[in-house]
Chains A and B, each alone.
Chain A
Amino acid sequence: MMLSAVELTKSFGSTQALSGASMSIAAGEIVAVMGPSGSGKSTLLHCLAGIIRPDAGQVLYRDQELSAMSDGQRSALRRGEFGFVFQFGQLVPELTCLENVALPLRLDGHRRKDAQRRAAEWLDRLEITDVAGKRPGEVSGGQGQRVAVARALVTGARVVFADEPTGALDSLNGERVMRLFTDAARTSGAAVVLVTHEARVAAYADREIVVRDGKALDLARHA
């Protein structure tokens, strides 16, 4: 398995968000993480991505334990190997959509022209070449999420963490984002951790894990 969480626990004050959650994901696999609101899905995703540190338990990425890394190593991992898509694109409002997608490459030291050429290819794959010169405030919610997907994949990320990526979209746009997102991830061989409470969104994944009361259940496995 490429990425695993083993018996994670995490509390915020007196709230126990995770109480022994385990899951794993293979290279190139798309796994939906489902469960009721407040069950600990986002906390699990943040631990897996090394954004927050669990109180106990381990996160292993390619046999390396995230909590044993230095902050510098962890953020290098997040920049180089991981991509993120959140519910509201979280694009930089002052930059054009093309510049937003090119940004991670620029931060990695790629030359401007090269970064923009690769960014343009990703906009094309996600069928949004027409928004290249627009700012995030000028595009629709669905287009913004497709820009966010392009930005997550442009660096060749091995794992994309998506937290309710269609949560703010209507069904038609949500479906379009999911189709393009999962196609693009499959083509580039990226694994996806897809947090969603919607079954029709989860149905784009290869399998699902259900989080209940801070515990992750792999239903297909014990069924």
Chain B
Amino acid sequence: MSIGQAFLGLLESQPRHGYDLKRAYDERFGSDRPLAYGQVYSTLSRLLKHGLVTVDGVEPGEGPDRKRYAITPAGVADVEQWLQQPEKPEPYLQNTLYTKVVLALLTGRPAAELLDTQRAEHLRLMRELTRRKTGGDLADQLICDHALFHLEADLRWLELTAARLTELAGKVRG
């Protein structure tokens, strides 16, 4: 999962200082692994270099946290593109998918569409694996089945999340 894109999504909802950004990230997505400050500032300087964020205010004083960052139109376009693009279906996607859903809600984008697009992508791969399985030997069948069960679990999660979007939107925006 890309920290850069998560930062951009958080900045799109409002400009923030570095420490504020780290706190927002840790609260929403960090779970058991908070970001290191070094990671925060190296990510921000990369985003600055690519013109995806800009410094929209500097407070007097010392230390790296005097700067307040805002997203640029190129940054918004980057978030937009990332959210629209389905992830390549693979195991253990939940973290990325969850982040995408939360950021879509936070930035007022259609989260239901994002889930539907991902669902279609998952089923496309499931059909492909099923074709490979029915034409293959037992080893192929078992390997394909393993992937199919994981994809099915993802799909159930996508359905459950779609059914709870309103509730989640309330939490995220509240």
Contacts and interface: CB of A to CB of B under 8 A. Distances in A.
Interface of A: 36, 179, 183, 198-200, 202-206, 208, 210, 217, 219-220, 222-223
Interface of B: 86, 116-117, 119-124, 126-127, 129-130, 134, 148-149, 151-152, 155-156, 159, 163
Contacts of A198: 152
Nearest to A183: B134
Contacts of B129: 203
Nearest to A179: B134
A202 B121 contact: no
A36 B123 contact: no
Contacts of B127: 203-206
Nearest to B118: A223
30 contacts: A36-B159, A183-B134, A198-B152, A199-B123, A199-B126, A199-B151, A199-B152, A199-B155, A200-B126, A200-B130, A200-B148, A200-B149, A200-B152, A202-B126, A203-B127, A203-B129, A203-B130, A203-B148, A205-B127, A206-B127, A208-B120, A217-B116, A219-B120, A220-B124, A222-B116, A223-B86, A223-B116, A223-B117, A223-B120, A223-B121
A165 to B, nearest CB: 16
B33 to A, nearest CB: 31
A31 to B, nearest CB: 12
